[in-house]
Amino acid sequence: MSKAACRNVIFGLGAAAVTLLAAAPAFATDPTAKWCAGVKIAAFPGGPQGGVFANNVYNGFRQAELDLGPTVTYYFSDWDPNKMLTQIQQALATKVDGIATYGFGGEAAEGPLVDQAYKQGTIFTSLNTALPDSQKKWAPHGFGYVGAPNYLAGFSLAQEAAKRAKLAKGDEVFVWGLKGQGGDRGQRTVGVVDAFTKAGAKVIYQEIDSATNADPNAGTATFVGVMKANPKVKIVVTDHGGLTSNVGVYARAASLKPGQVFFAGFDMSPNTAQAVKQGYIPILNICLTKKFGFSGLDINTAGAFVDSTNVDAVAPLAAKEIR
């Protein structure tokens, strides 16, 4: 077929489409309330119900549910990757239209579940922790990501903390994180450690145990023990929203004096705007894919640093658990 003939076919189909749309009821072009009604979604806030960060993500999910109209089932996982994987399998068994969850399991464990989802017609999208291989494979079919590039986020935070605390070579820093967790989640802690190592600091590292992961108060004795064993620690980084929210408790328990140690961490309590974005946008992603055939959305939620100079602007919204 000649190029001219091809053009005629293309334009002919376009004209036919216009005619059909004109005769059909209004759909995508007219504003419609609850336009995602009838779509069933499994949503994973991540941590325990009412917990730090998890509740903010839940609030984002709920707002999207109220705005858009899907039916949403919530799975609270206590920040336990294995529990989350089991719950994803349970959600898949219910044949929901979409799943919005974290990539904590890593590609090896979670990738096959993503494949299963798309093969059965379930849209799968991630938040907070990426599944880059799965996203590359399934993005045209709706797999998106809402969150920060985790390694860079960790590296940047440590660099900023080192600058503000005037860190010198040989100074001691304590990093309390999840380096051992699979996939992209552990990379944020790796980024923190790499930045401090590059700066010449002595890094004292402690993996967050499962009890502290679920309940930050369970880690108080661990923190006190590390600080007593390493009294020259200049900077403490907590790579966990719950632990970051609890640093005041840790500092008092360790009898630290004001200004003695510089604290830095992620997901300040009651958290940042990214938590709500990470809840709302994945629901929107699934709805757009299900209703209108959108490919996956990729939203970088990395933002500015919050400290004593600008926290007052965040505090009123933080009290409402939306920032």
pLDDT in tens, 8-62: 333 333 333 333 333 334 445 578 899 999 999 999 999 999 888 898 899 999 9
Last residue of a domain, which of 246, 265, 284? Answer: 265
* 191 and 96 in a common domain: no
Last residue of a domain, which of 247, 265, 283? Answer: 265
* 284 and 234 in a common domain: no
Residue 195 in domain: yes
Residue by residue, DSSP assigns 289-305 as: HHHH-----EEE-----
* 126 and 108 in a common domain: yes
Alpha helices in the chain (DSSP H): 3-23, 54-68, 81-93, 106-119, 132-138, 150-164, 183-198, 210-214, 220-229, 241-245, 247-253, 273-292, 311-319
Q: Identify the pLDDT of residue 26.
A: 41
Residue type for position 35: W
Residues of the chain scoring pLDDT < 70: 1-29, 268-277, 302-323
Residue 173 in domain: yes
* 130 and 232 in a common domain: no
172, 232 in Cβ contact below 8 A? yes
* 159 and 112 in a common domain: no
Residue 217 in domain: yes
pLDDT digits (tens, 9 = 90+) for 117-152: 999 999 999 999 999 999 999 999 999 999 989 999
HEC-encoded secondary structure of 37-103: CCCEEEECCCCCCCCCCHHHHHHHHHHHHHHHCCEEEECCCCCCHHHHHHHHHHHHHCCCCEEEEEC
Residue 298 in domain: yes
Alpha helices in 230-272 (DSSP H): 241-245, 247-253
Structural domain boundaries enclosing 50: 40-149+272-319
* 173 and 87 in a common domain: no
* 157 and 111 in a common domain: no
- DSSP conformational letter for 146: E
* 129 and 51 in a common domain: yes
Last residue of a domain, which of 220, 247, 265? Answer: 265
Work out how many domains the chain is built from and give that number: 2
* 193 and 121 in a common domain: no
Distance CA 279, CA 59 (A): 7
Q: Identify the pLDDT of residue 19.
A: 33
Nearest to 310 by CA among 323, 301, 321: 323
Residue 99 in domain: yes
Residue 68 in domain: yes
CATH code assigned at 313? 3.40.50.2300
* 142 and 288 in a common domain: yes
Q: Identify the pLDDT of residue 279.
A: 87
* 166 and 213 in a common domain: yes
Nearest to 103 by CA among 114, 118, 91: 114
Q: Identify the pLDDT of residue 182.
A: 74
Nearest to 155 by CA among 196, 185, 184: 196
Residue 20 in domain: no
Q: Identify the pLDDT of residue 194.
A: 98
* 143 and 155 in a common domain: no
Look at residue 127 and give its three-state secondary structure: strand
CA 248 to chain centre: 24
Residue 159 in domain: yes
Encoded tokens for 212: 């502290």
